[in-house]
Amino acid sequence: MEAVLRKPPPDWDQRAVAAPYLSALRQHFDQDAIEPSWLDGLFTGLSQELRAVYRDQDVDRALEGLDRLLAKYDLAEKEIRTQNPSRASAKILECWNRIARAATTKPTPPPQQSYNNQAAVPPVETPPSRPKTPTTRLRLNGRAMHKSAVPTWIFLVAMSWVALIWGAIISLPFGIGLAVFASMMVGFITVPAWATLWSWLGMGAVRDSTLRSMNFKDVPPDHPLAVISGAFARDLDLPPPRIGTMDVANAFAMGTRRTDATISFGTPLLEILSPDEVAAIIGHELGHVVNGDMRRMMLMRTFQNATVFYMLTQRGKQFARWVICWAAELMILGSSRQREFYADAIGAALAGKDAMISALRKLERAPPLTTEEKTHARFMARGKLSSIANLLSTHPTFQERIAAVEQETYLRRLPRRS
């Protein structure tokens, strides 16, 4: 069996399509971890990829070569069962035969490859202890990208003072403006102190409530999303993030610090994105983690909500923030748009420019944002775009984002390892 698996690419597979599949098979075999359902998915994915890569007579040749290879596996397994029954079972042998029949069935038009498509399973990663990981395109210096949240806090305190002055001005017609002005000096201390206290205390609760509202579900450690995010995190000198899925065509990163980051990836995106494009979006979200965007945006949200704590609903808080804290809201939206350019650049550095550009183009064609996505738009990979003025958008337009990646406007600014 070992000799069969370690052979160089056969003549029927000159493009080495089968190489990663056979590598995964060898590693699972070495650990005696071959399950019939896993084997079925692996060879179904391999046969579909052969059909997608080869054309005309080459398809038949490749599938016939796969059939001959499966026959060799069958003989090898029979020998092993004779010598060591514990390493093989009748169920696995039956699975070989079933896969061989399915693999040589006349081809049908292959569906688009995606992680969620059962008919186009990507190459199975190696066991969780030593997973197969994507190759980083550029060696980024993750530690050099770390940014403190202190400047953001200073900005929020200054903006709270602006909000106090504006609140006093607009309340003059109602007879309470003078009282507000009279208590201004006290407010300059108490308002930012109150907002600071509750913003830092509330970040964890906001993250948890957001994950619940988005129906977040954790994925196992050997899931492709977890394998890729773990590999990219190591490249950026980050601990592996918690990763899971949600039901909308979007992605976001949240957390109070880099060591407890959570990335949520929409299952609809797994249906429309290729594996490279999925990797690019994961790289984008890790970009928000490594440069501190995630923490700063959460601080901005909780600080602003704390200043209008008297509003009981999220919509009410949003309305009050725009009436009283409009200057801060405009500045925060500007920061949100800027951070997307850098996150796209990091995604392009990790997964490749072409993958990032292609992913952005597909995101542009994704379904309209749901109510929940709009509520948390500042954290999302795709957010609210205002048709009135770009100043009110949470994200740049997709045309602007694609152009920035193509021209490497922000990619060139990322620190590299020496």
Active site residues: 285
Neighbouring CB atoms inside 10 A of 14's CB total 11
State the virtual CA torsion across 379, 384, 389, 391 in degrees, nearest 10.
0
Bridge partners (DSSP) listed for residue 254: 262
H or E element that contains 345 = helix 326-351
Which helix or strand (DSSP H or E) is residue 158 part of?
helix 150-170
Q: Which of 25, 127, 30 is nearest to 70 (CA)?
A: 25
C-alpha distances in Å from residue 217, one per residue of 114, 284, 350: 19, 20, 25
Q: How many CA atoms lie within 13 A of 4 on its CB side?
A: 17
3-state secondary structure of 263: strand
* Ramachandran class of 237: left when φ > 0, alpha when ψ lies in -120 to 50, beta otherwise: left
At residue 367, what is the residue type?
P
Contact by Cβ (8 Å): 302, 202: yes
The dihedral sign for the CA sequence 310, 320, 331, 392? positive
Torsion over CA: 59, 63, 65, 66 (sign) = positive
In b/e form, how buried is each residue of 277-297, taking b as 16+ CB within 10 angstroms?
bbbbbbbbbbbbbbbbbbbbb
Amino acid at 19: A
Beta-sheet pairing, 242-246 with 262-266: parallel
d(CA 96, CA 93): 5
Do residues 77 and 88 touch, judged by C-beta distance below 8 A? yes
For residue 167, give both structure tokens.
């609140």
